[in-house]
Amino acid sequence: MARGIKPVLPITVSEWADANRILSTVSSREPGQWRTSRTPYLREVMDCLSSLSPVERVIFMASSQIGKTEVGLNWLGYIMAHDPGPILMVQPSLELGKTYSKQRLAPMVHESTILRDLVGEVRSRDSGNTMLMKEFPGGILRITGSNSAAALAGMPVRWLFLDEADRFEGDVGGEGDAVNLAIQRTANFSNRKILIASTPTIKGHSRIEKLFALSDQRYYWVPCPHCGHMQVLKWAQVKWPKGEPAEAYYLCIECQEKIHSHHKDAMLEAGKWIPSAVTKDGKTAGFHISALYNPHGWLSLGEIAVEYYSSYRDPFQLKVWMNTKLGELWEESAEGIESEGLLGRREKAWKYLPVGVLVLTASVDVQGNRLEVEVVGWGMGEESWSVDYVVLMGDPSGTQVWHDLESLLTRTYPHSLQVPDMKISAVAIDTGGHNFIDVANYCRPRQGRKIWAIKGRGGQGVPIWPKRPSNKNKGRVPLYTVGVDSCKEAIYARLKIDKPGPGYMHFTIERDGVYFDQLTSEKVSTTYRKGRAVRTWVIPDGVRNEALDCRVYALAALHGLYSVGLQLVREEKKMSEIPMKEGIEPVQLAVVENRLELNHVASNPSAIKKHVKKHRRIITSPWMS
């Protein structure tokens, strides 16, 4: 009784973490005693979550790997040990909730003496302490996914932690938005606290964008080590010597002096959060920060610049970089893709696989009277070549069309380099439609050859390739759920790239107007469901899209290879040491800032000489005319 009526001591979350949090070797880059001084920008974020703070909601919009999850973990430990009550922690999916519990929460509890005494070991027969449920004196922690309507509409909670909210389900079981459902669980508590953290996604479709706009919008200002001028770190001020992004530095906006990564520790310690807006309720604190604020020894300015340098020509990769490194929104271009423009980009047919091809994948779209198959070659930066496109006529419920597919998938392709003819490394076959069992029967005995049965799933945030397949299906085959919207985003972004290099898509004159009409058949439409903007891919009535589906599945198969260990960088290194086959007529290509760019004047010897002088080295390729 005495413990129940004892007032909460005036201790903040950061003070509790400094005294009690031990970082595990399992989940931390710097194991040992937690020190808020290592990341001073997290102090105010955590302290707004303290029991005696007047702030009710904390909105944390930030880049990846900047400390969002650690803020949440410190807060959970603080609640358990200092001010217990019912807690709901929501991840984008139930599977991610289990991963969070096992890889992040469990190591924190195990390493902290005070938490280890409060929360026992997970026991399967103890309903009060499971992977998704933790009981402790005076409270309970429930971990769930945004796709679980029952959990979101369950028990009332005082403390609510929503992690990576931009990846939450838009409409859970027809009951509404996952964020709103979860917040409703806190309605009975006048002393509630809510933490919503996320890396932003697409402008106009981002939850964290909308929530941050309702907050006081705080940004972290730091002083220049040379002139003391206070400023918010912006990507526009990151510079580097031409062609050397690894040597990047920050240029002070006031004195124009160079600021290097080793300056940042002192800058961060002297920094402060400054609000840029006023909230209506005065209880919502918003924080925005990017990876540019990483302390010395973490991600450096040079590493951020190198990643930008390798992705800036590929809109799909650039979007990921902007979201995860700058913590900024990506604004989609309203400009569409016209099939007529792609016809003019076609190249002469290749007798040999182009030099840049490192691996082949294939895709199969199953129709009622045929199979449509595309073989795609992949190079560095997911540059791609449409190697083959075949329509196999036949009823998929019969056997002949599957024999024809087997013959196609077992063929090999001669390469321009002195290597054995290249085999198809992975195949993705769609199980949609009425032929699920037929596809399952074909794929089941061929798992060793990486011939995978897949099904598409739309929606923002669905990964291109899942961590593991589902085995609970009528075909008794490993079934991989592919994020088709993510694939389409990548394909449409890359169709806009007009120069060979990362992300560029090569086509031969064998691809006709019908192929490109299908490849560009779908359009993005924005609809509103219960007040939330939702992006959906739609296809006009009567329009075919098999070519787009095939390219989606081929890209998914490539990501399936990533999941089993493929590294394009490693493959490129091996292939770069192999000479070209004799007798192949080379065509000059110049390396411009580490990217391939077609030399349109290859037939002019004097122009080639000028090109050689201008650029540092020349490579040859047999696949351009």
pLDDT digits (tens, 9 = 90+) for 145-157: 988 777 777 789 9
pLDDT tens string 543-575:
899 999 999 999 999 999 999 999 999 999 999
Distance CA 562, CA 511 (A): 28
pLDDT at 254 over 90: yes
pLDDT at 620: 41
Residue 603's nearest CA partner among 620, 623, 580, 587 is 587
Lowest mean pLDDT among 336-350, 353-367, 493-507: 336-350
Residue 332 CA, chain-centre distance (Å), reads 16
At 125, list the tokens: 């027969």
> What's the average model confidence in pLDDT over 359-374?
96
pLDDT-based confidence at residue 525 (cuts at 50, 70, 90): confident
pLDDT at 474: 85
Lowest mean pLDDT among 93-102, 108-117, 490-499, 601-610: 601-610
pLDDT-based confidence at residue 127 (cuts at 50, 70, 90): low
pLDDT, mean over the chain: 87
Instruction: Starting at the earlier edge strand, list the strands of the sheet with 618-621.
Output: 595-598, 587-592, 618-621
> What's the average model confidence in pLDDT over 613-623?
42
Percent share of the chain, pLDDT over 70: 89
| Contact call for residues 32 and 259 (beta carbons, < 8 A) | no
pLDDT at 577: 86
At 339, list the tokens: 């099939």
Domains in the chain: ranges and CATH: 8-217+277-289 (3.40.50.300), 223-272+299-332 (no CATH), 339-575 (3.30.420), 587-621 (no CATH)
For residue 554, what are the CA distances in angstroms to 73, 162, 377, 548, 565?
Answer: 39, 34, 9, 10, 17
pLDDT-based confidence at residue 5 (cuts at 50, 70, 90): confident
At 154, list the tokens: 């369950």
Percent share of the chain, pLDDT over 90: 66
Burial class (CB in 10 A: 0-12, 13-18, 19+), 592: middle
Distance CA 376, CA 554 (A): 7
At 306, list the tokens: 């190198």
Lowest mean pLDDT among 225-229, 528-532, 616-620: 616-620
Neighbours of 212 (CB within 10 A): 24
What does DSSP assign to residue 602?
T
| Contact call for residues 465 and 556 (beta carbons, < 8 A) | yes
- Under 8 Å CB-to-CB from 611, ≥6 apart: which residues? 588, 590, 599, 601, 618
Bigger pLDDT: 387 or 154? 387
> What's the average model confidence in pLDDT over 478-489?
94
